[in-house]
Structure 1
Amino acid sequence: MNIQDFKYYHELVNLKSYTKTAEKFGVSQPTITAAVKRLEKKFGGKFLIRDQSHKNIIITKLGMQFDEHVQSILNEVNVAEQEIKQEATANIPFGLPPIIGRNFFPTLVPKLLEKRILNRLSVIESGSYDLHQLLVEGNINFSLLGLTQPNVASGIKLKIIKRYPICIIVNKDHPFAKKKTIHFKDIADEDFIGLNSDYIHTRALDRMIKKNKISLNTIYRSPDVTVVKSLVAQGIGISYLTTLAINQNDDVVALPLLDKEKPEFILGAATRENHIMTTKEEELWQILTKDIKKED
């Protein structure tokens, strides 16, 4: 039994064709057949039935269950291969969402410089959902993430660093600016400027819209938080943003929501539970999670 047999088997289940599977791997059909027989003999089950009259392949229930395990095995092998490659380069693949990169990460830089870790980081900037998937697949080893709920995939270790409210932001001359707080439903008739789908704000916003049974007049969506704040400051519309992304130089007013159930922007540090850290990676993890309350 070898890993290649698992690869043959999984592709055969997907393609349901010995011919196409053999062509994909550049081998003969008997090679694929032999691999399946070895797996069935090793595990003592019947995974496939070959209908010679119709030249079809029927995947048994046991065969489908076995393929679920095969996929897990192949994913673990891929993760191991990625980790070995990363260790050889001595870099630390590190995920950084845009908002966190601009507003939180700079506070860590002095310590990262002191420990000589900053120049070892191979930073990948993307949305938290994409970075979470890259962690699962082993393409990065560590990431800061923005979440609305402290839920991550099985096998991912999460340490919550801090929670920030998500507020309605308006121009200083907007009628809402005189309020101290606001209900989400109050923004139903306002021109709204949103972020694109890469941001967790968008999904959090969708949940609030459904919960309050309202619709928003979204006039523009931007991939850039700075653009959103600038448009709001000009009075073009209002928006929905975490306080982490708002600073004293922004010419906007942030209004906390009065709703009982309202999403938060949860800032967390994540790695894989089965990842064996190098010395530098252990130092990085300590810097990311130092002095935080245990909320995970």
Structure 2
Amino acid sequence: MNLKQLRYFHEISQQQSFSKAAERLHIAQPAISMAMSKLESELGLRLFHRNERKIRLTDEGKRLLPHAETLLKNLKDAETEMSELKGLQRGAVRIGIPSMLGSYYFPPILMAFKHQYPLLNLEVIEGGTGQLQQMVERGELDLGVIVSEFVPENLHTELFLREQMLVTVAKDHHFAAQHAIPYDAFFAEELVMFKEGYFHRKIVDRIATSIGAKPNIAFETNLIPLIKSIVKQGFGISTLLGMVVEDDADLISIPFTEPVWLDLSIAWAKDRYLSHANQTFVDFMLAYRSSQTPS
């Protein structure tokens, strides 16, 4: 058994297809099939169910998979660290950012970082915090922005932003003149919400459950301009971070009677080597946070 065989085995298990795995690995399908047949022969075990539409792991294959993932992760970490010890001049930062922050908070950070470190490649993925958390845990992302309230034990986090979620209404809405909105009044309105998996929706669902309310969701979308447009036209209300509406004169933001604060953190896997490029980004972002905090 060697690392090449384990890499092939792992990719087949992810794609549930020999042909798709071969395509992703840029090798011919017969080569990957022969490699797996040889691995099974060496182990004296059958690793795949091949007589179905999708390739599935046997019980023996399922036992091998976590060992393969650990070995491949360790190899990647070793290669990264050794490259950096040689004085690697280039690197990559893969970070997942929720859409609200990606549109309104991170652009100046990303542009400033790229200006200071032009040789480093930035790859930014947009998604819900739940999805981003899973991608970090699986090693598909190096860094991810998540809500601190939902942090699992296998991730290391650094808090970088505390923001209040505010009820967002059109300027002619009957809430517009109020100083604070009770939860029950909010849930009595038609709502414009992000889809499930986004921190915006997760917090709203949690509040609804805590008071026994059922959200009356009229629109579901992850497009912030569309949410704002629907609210402006009076077809519903929403709850957004203040940064999203602070420059929009047609929208009014009001706190909840019981304020809802979000602690947002940058997260990475505790058991995975954090490359120099990614550590540099984390340090840069935390320094930016400190520079924006009033003294």
> Above 0.5 in TM-score?
yes
For residue 140 of structure 1, what is the amino acid of its counterpart?
L
Question: 1:120-135 alignment to 2 at 5 Å?
Answer: 120-127=120-127, 128-135=129-136
For residue 177 of structure 2, what is the amino acid of its counterpart?
K
Match of 1:27 in 2: 34
For residue 275 of structure 1, what is the amino acid of its counterpart?
Y
Structure 1 residues 269 and 218, CA, compared in 2 at 3 Å: closer, same or farther? same
Answer yes or no: is 1:164 the counterpart of 2:171.
Answer: no
Match of 1:138 in 2: 139
Preserved CA contact (<8 Å) 1:194 1:218: yes
Unaligned runs of 5+ in 2: 17-29, 47-56, 291-295
Match of 2:245 in 1: 246
Moved over 6 A (4+): 7-12, 63-66, 78-89
* Cα displacement (A) at 1:264: 3.4
Match of 2:262 in 1: 265
Match of 2:107 in 1: 106
Preserved CA contact (<8 Å) 1:269 1:288: no
Match of 2:283 in 1: 286
Preserved CA contact (<8 Å) 1:188 1:217: yes
Preserved CA contact (<8 Å) 2:5 2:35: no
* Cα displacement (A) at 1:163: 1.2
Q: Deviations over 1:151-198 (max 9, x none)?
A: 1461x3311101112122112222222221122111233111112235
Larger mean Cα displacement after TM superposition, 89-98 or 227-236: 89-98
SS at match of 2:175: helix
Match of 1:194 in 2: 193
Q: Deviations over 1:215-240 (max 9, x none)?
A: 23222112211221222122221112
Match of 1:36 in 2: 43
Preserved CA contact (<8 Å) 2:91 2:121: no
Preserved CA contact (<8 Å) 2:148 2:265: no
Answer yes or no: is 1:93 the counterpart of 2:90.
Answer: no
Q: CA RMSD in A?
A: 4.1
Q: Partners in 2 of 1:268 and 1:29 — Cα distance?
A: 42
Q: Matched residue pairs, number?
A: 262
Q: TM-score by structure 1 length?
A: 0.68
Q: Partners in 1 of 2:283 and 2:58 — Cα distance?
A: 51
Q: Deviations over 1:60-111 (max 9, x none)?
A: 9xx9777655544455556767999997963333333321122111342564
Structure 1 residues 71 and 248, CA, compared in 2 at 3 Å: closer, same or farther? same
Q: Partners in 2 of 1:135 and 1:195 — Cα distance?
A: 22
Preserved CA contact (<8 Å) 1:195 1:202: yes
Preserved CA contact (<8 Å) 1:93 1:122: yes
Q: Partners in 2 of 1:105 and 1:29 — Cα distance?
A: 44
Match of 2:23 in 1: none
Structure 1 residues 4 and 106, CA, compared in 2 at 3 Å: closer, same or farther? closer
For residue 268 of structure 2, what is the amino acid of its counterpart?
T
For residue 123 of structure 1, what is the amino acid of its counterpart?
E
Structure 1 residues 191 and 238, CA, compared in 2 at 3 Å: closer, same or farther? same
Structure 1 residues 189 and 95, CA, compared in 2 at 3 Å: closer, same or farther? closer
Answer yes or no: is 1:221 the counterpart of 2:220.
Answer: yes
Match of 1:203 in 2: 202
Question: 1:13-24 alignment to 2 at 5 Å?
Answer: none
Q: TM-score by structure 2 length?
A: 0.69
Preserved CA contact (<8 Å) 2:109 2:288: no
Structure 1 residues 70 and 227, CA, compared in 2 at 3 Å: closer, same or farther? same
Report % sequence identity.
18
Structure 1 residues 69 and 263, CA, compared in 2 at 3 Å: closer, same or farther? farther
Q: Deviations over 1:6-49 (max 9, x none)?
A: 6798889xx9xxxxxxx995238974455436xxxxxxxxx99x
Answer yes or no: is 1:255 the counterpart of 2:254.
Answer: yes
